[in-house]
Amino acid sequence: MGNFHNLDEAVRVLTELPPEAGITPVKALTVGEGVVAGVLWSDANGGYHRHAGHEELLIVLKGDGDFRVGDEIRTVHRGDYIYVPRGALHGTVSPGEAFALLSIITPPIDLASDIVFEKERPNYRIVT
């Protein structure tokens, strides 16, 4: 991973992957001492979840759909910014299509142990 990334290229990489049932691809961009960042597809299969010790900033890079943070649901579009406070239940409600999100989380998160899902945990696959 380098210090500079093109977000359109990251979305293209995810778009060109063959779909895999039950797999959420994540294009990792940064794993630093205080922050992690990546691009991922968000769909209704991702599941509502929370991370008690982490804040998350999301930017919609492609597509649109309905997204929930806490008790609030909004339709989000390319260019929209979503802030998720620590411990807030959040996730995609029902996308018009799967949409690409830039996710920035602080402090760094362990996808296997720091996220509590309301239902079944999705399978993440880190792609290069």
pLDDT at 36 over 90: yes
pTM: 0.89
pLDDT at 125 over 90: no
Alpha carbon distance 64, 81 (integer Å): 12
| CATH number, span 7-127 | 2.60.120.10
Is 56 in contact with 75 (CB distance < 8 Å)?
Answer: no
Q: Provide the pLDDT for residue 115.
A: 86
Tokens of 97: 């299509």
